[in-house]
Structure 1
Amino acid sequence: MDSSPGFMAVILLLLGRTRGDSVTQTEGQVTISENGFLRINCTYSATSIGYPTLFWYFQYPGESLQLLLKVITAGEKGSSKGFEATYNKETTSFHLQKASVQESDSAVYYCALG
């Protein structure tokens, strides 16, 4: 058995568009050692009046998409399962972070807006 720590988190580029609104996130695979720090960048562009609601979803292989967190107010921080993301209207960002990733965090992560 291989005793070297490590896991693979697969991250895909997702461009979600609604009436000219869009999100762009970290593209490609990200590999992080167990207990390492994870950051997945997500920026958004919103042309509609007001600020959009922002979401992070995750999906394990062969399973359905699951909501990880949702934030509706600019400046608010969402957190779930050790992950957190802050809705930053100045930088139009909603970066997902986790301080100590585990093998069970290996999944595809999607940033979305609504």
Structure 2
Amino acid sequence: GYSSCCDTSLLFSPGQTYGESVTQMEGQVTLSEGASLTLNCTYSTTGYPTLFWYVQYPGEGPQLLLRATKANKKEPSKSFEATYNTETTSLHLEKASVQESDSAMYYCAMNTGTFCDSRLQPGEFSRRSLFL
């Protein structure tokens, strides 16, 4: 397991750090209520990192939506789900039917376990806005 400091040592991108990155397509997504949602996230690193999706609702701080630690396993959370795919190095977030309450900022993040200094690595948040 990781030491406790690694739990908060997340790598946010699109900045590059030692060849490791996690990337989302930037910009807003506007959907009608009831439509299906897919937010793309790909990563670049060696090994099998722990991947995260965070959600930030208006007026609140970011909160963990789901965490994926096992390769090629589907991770469900609050009617969202994401499949950790090592072949495409991705963790795309999906929801079958979005509601107005899903309007938020969504962040993809990665922890390789190699940075145990209890601080965020350089690089901007990778983010995608969802408006309904």
Tell me the TM-score normalized by structure 2: 0.71
Q: Residue 86 of structure 1 aligns with which residue?
A: 83
Q: Residue 57 of structure 2 aligns with which residue?
A: 60
- Specify whether residues 79 and 30 from structure 1 end up closer, same or farther in structure 2 by C-alpha distance, changes over 3 A only: same
- C-alpha deviations, 1:74-112, integer Å up to 9, x for none? 111111111000000000011000000000000000011
Q: 2: distance between equivalents of 1:98 and 1:16?
A: 27
Q: Residue 94 of structure 2 aligns with which residue?
A: 97
Which runs of 5 or more residues in structure 2 are unaligned? 1-12, 112-132
How far the C-alpha of 1:16 sits from its partner, in A, is 5.8
- C-alpha deviations, 1:53-93, integer Å up to 9, x for none? 00000001221110000010111111111100000000001
How far the C-alpha of 1:18 sits from its partner, in A, is 5.0
Q: 2: distance between equivalents of 1:79 and 1:17?
A: 29
Which runs of 5 or more residues in structure 1 are unaligned? 1-13
Counterpart AA for 2:28: Q
Q: 1:16·1:112 contact (CA, 8 Å) conserved in 2?
A: no
> What is the total number of aligned residue pairs between the two structures?
99
- Specify whether residues 68 and 24 from structure 1 end up closer, same or farther in structure 2 by C-alpha distance, changes over 3 A only: same
Q: Which has the higher contact order (CA 8 A, sep 6+)?
A: 2
Q: Residue 46 of structure 1 aligns with which residue?
A: 45
Identical-residue share of aligned pairs (%) = 69
- Specify whether residues 35 and 61 from structure 1 end up closer, same or farther in structure 2 by C-alpha distance, changes over 3 A only: same
Q: 1:41·1:95 contact (CA, 8 Å) conserved in 2?
A: yes
Q: 2: distance between equivalents of 1:18 and 1:70?
A: 21
- Specify whether residues 16 and 101 from structure 1 end up closer, same or farther in structure 2 by C-alpha distance, changes over 3 A only: farther
Q: 2: distance between equivalents of 1:22 and 1:16?
A: 7
Q: 2: distance between equivalents of 1:16 and 1:57?
A: 18
- Specify whether residues 17 and 61 from structure 1 end up closer, same or farther in structure 2 by C-alpha distance, changes over 3 A only: farther
Q: 2: distance between equivalents of 1:55 and 1:32?
A: 23
